[in-house]
Amino acid sequence: MKQRNTLKLVHFASTVWFALCAAYISVVALLQAGKSWWFIVSLSGYSTVIVLLLISLYLFAVFRGVARSQKSEVEHPISASFYYLVLYDVSPFLGALAACSGAIMSTKITHYLMMTAIGSLWATFLVWIIIDPMVGLVEMLLPSSREHRRKRLAQAKAKREREYLANQCLLKQLQTEEKRQWSHWEELLRPYAEKLAASVVRSETAGEDGETEAIDIAVKAWQTGGLSCMRQLHYMTMQTYKENYKKPMPIDYISIWWDGIGSWQSRWFEEECSQNADQEVSCA
């Protein structure tokens, strides 16, 4: 763990150093092209956010790569080794050191700094862009890496299949429990459905107001099983009315009487809920 944290810090420092070298070369090139400092400052202001974003994404990817698991070390015996990671992280500094050695006799500080920055960029490009992908390609072609990758993918597939079967089993258990609950409610709510259907008929024929009785029944249904129980009772009442009087209920009195009870909302919302309850009961 300590080595991994050290590698993260080293890579962060090398990335910052690489960005500084690239910025230095860009600024010198713009000055040599005749651009003013005001132009350079304004250009850097727009590009700073993009550069920081790219660096953050790259550091995230590399930090994940540093914390490799044992499987990755088997599949990538070279690039996952500690010495390779050290070489990968310090490559910008190695390039700068090599350039410093070559330009040590230079009398101009600007030439010395430019050679250092260019050496750092070239070493980083060589290791990060050319050598590292080539090493990864070679590792993928190794028989041991290919065999381990095949086993790892097979284990991952088997794990997904086990999770899928477990989820399907849980879903079946929930469906069975739901059917049992609906069957229990159907026996319990049958008398209430008959009373509500009769109340609707009296409201249609004799003009009696059955709202009080309907509210009492709705409260009992809500206390029994919440909104789901009220939906089932609503559906059973509609079906009872249709079976007893050989016609569908012309006006949904139940939704009107129940408006505001529990979480029962408007008639139009409840009509949609009753359709869903119809589908659930038919499936049950």
Task: Please tell me whether residues 61 and 174 are part of one structural domain.
Answer: no
Task: Please tell me whether residues 24 and 129 are part of one structural domain.
Answer: yes
**Residue 67 confidence (pLDDT):** 47
Secondary structure of residue 118 in the 3-state scheme: helix
In a domain, 155, yes or no: no
Task: Please tell me whether residues 79 and 188 are part of one structural domain.
Answer: no
In a domain, 179, yes or no: yes
Q: How far is CA 139 from the centre of its chain?
A: 31
Task: Please tell me whether residues 36 and 122 are part of one structural domain.
Answer: yes
Q: For 83, how many CA atoms within 13 A lie in the half-sphere containing its CB?
A: 2
Q: Provide the residue-wise pLDDT of the chain in tens; the chain has 284 residues.
A: 677 778 778 878 888 888 788 778 877 776 766 666 555 555 555 555 555 655 665 555 455 545 444 446 777 788 888 888 888 888 888 888 888 777 676 667 777 788 888 888 888 888 888 888 898 888 888 888 888 888 888 998 999 999 999 999 999 998 888 788 778 878 888 888 888 888 888 887 766 677 788 888 888 888 888 888 888 888 888 888 888 888 888 888 888 888 777 667 644 444 554 554 454 444 44
Task: Please tell me whether residues 115 and 197 are part of one structural domain.
Answer: no
Q: Find all residues with CB under 8 Å of 86, minimum gap 6, and list them.
A: 7, 10
Measure the CA angle with vertex 76, ends 70 and 78; round to 5°: 115
In a domain, 161, yes or no: no
Task: Please tell me whether residues 98 and 185 are part of one structural domain.
Answer: no
In a domain, 11, yes or no: yes
**For residue 41, what are the domain limits?**
2-141
**Residue 159 confidence (pLDDT):** 93
Amino acid at the residue 225: G
CA distance 209 to 217: 14
Q: How far is CA 75 from the centre of its chain?
A: 27
Task: Please tell me whether residues 19 and 106 are part of one structural domain.
Answer: yes
Task: Please tell me whether residues 94 and 207 are part of one structural domain.
Answer: no
Task: Please tell me whether residues 50 and 130 are part of one structural domain.
Answer: yes
Token representation of residue 146 = 């290919």
Task: Please tell me whether residues 110 and 221 are part of one structural domain.
Answer: no
In a domain, 7, yes or no: yes
Task: Please tell me whether residues 13 and 125 are part of one structural domain.
Answer: yes
pTM recorded for the entire structure? 0.44
Task: Please tell me whether residues 133 and 194 are part of one structural domain.
Answer: no
Q: Find all residues with CB under 8 Å of 82, minimum gap 6, and list them.
A: 3
**Count of structural domains, the chain:** 2
In a domain, 154, yes or no: no
